[in-house]
């Protein structure tokens, strides 16, 4: 695929093997503003790839380097997600500027890019996560409009393998078993709902919530 180089100065060396992809939205109203932010010597934020609304893909940081996109985060006990992940930003105004559905052409580019990166770096598809998954107390991107099920149908990302309710084990324990940080169980639950149950982001578990949690654990 055609990738446009747009070097960003904010990166350092990885301290962990690369094993994950983290998806974000930019939370900025305009693509030009986003590129300017990443290029600014003062922003101290970066990502590896940026996909605009029309599907063009930009690379800002080499895969081998540690970009600064995850911030304070945790997944399956790892607290340096920047070191073990590739960060992909999707241009979208986000919740700060009038959150919008992601254009089909943008998602198509994301799927192609993820397939390429999974193959190149031998990343497990189950390690394609959202920023809100790894930082549930701070972040909500890529948000409830992101088509996680579409990616899952392409073999990318976590998704429940069944919807049969087997037993109502402790919900916090199950969320931790998936990988969520559960210092704040309510935030972990809302992050799960945002990813897997976007029609019900209220922090209140119902029977469907338990089925989905169990299905992800069994995936």
Active centre residues (catalytic): 89
Backbone angles phi, psi at 3, to 5 degrees: -125, 125
- What is the DSSP track for 49-118? EEE-TT--EEE-S-TTEEES-S-S--BTTB--HHHHEEEEEE---TTTS---PPPHHHHHHHHHHHHHHH
What order do you get walking across the sheet with 20-25 strand by strand? 3-5, 57-59, 49-51, 85-90, 20-25, 128-130
Residues with Cβ < 8 Å from 140, sequence gap 6 or more? Answer: 95, 132, 191, 194
d(CA 119, CA 71): 26
**Length of the chain, please?**
219
Adjacent-strand bridge partners of 59: 5, 49
Q: What is the dihedral of CA 196, 197, 201, 203, to 10 degrees?
A: -80
Q: How many other C-beta atoms lie within 10 A of the C-beta of residue 192?
A: 25
Q: What is the DSSP letter of 10?
A: -
């Amino acid at each position: 695929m055609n990738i446009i180089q747009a070097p960003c100065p904010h990166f350092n060396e990885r301290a962990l093997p690369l094993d994950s992809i983290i998806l974000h939205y930019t939370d900025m109203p305009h693509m030009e503003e986003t590129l300017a932010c990443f290029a600014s010597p003062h922003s101290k934020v970066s990502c590896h790839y940026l996909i605009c609304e029309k599907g063009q893909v930009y690379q800002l940081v080499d895969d081998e380097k540690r970009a600064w996109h995850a911030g304070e985060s945790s997944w399956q006990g790892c607290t340096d997600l920047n070191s073990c992940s590739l960060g992909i930003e999707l241009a979208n105004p986000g919740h700060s500027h009038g959150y919008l559905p992601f254009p089909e052409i943008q998602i198509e580019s994301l799927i192609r890019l993820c397939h390429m990166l999974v193959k190149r770096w031998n990343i497990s598809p189950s390690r394609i996560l959202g920023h809100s998954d790894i930082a549930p107390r701070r972040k909500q991107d890529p948000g409830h409009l992101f088509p996680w099920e579409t990616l899952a149908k392409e073999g990318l990302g976590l998704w429940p393998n069944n919807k049969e309710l087997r037993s109502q084990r402790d919900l916090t324990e199950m969320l931790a078993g998936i990988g969520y940080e559960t210092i704040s169980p309510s935030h972990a639950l809302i992050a799960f709902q945002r990813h897997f149950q976007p029609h019900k982001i209220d922090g209140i578990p119902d029977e469907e919530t338990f089925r989905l949690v169990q299905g992800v654990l069994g995936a």
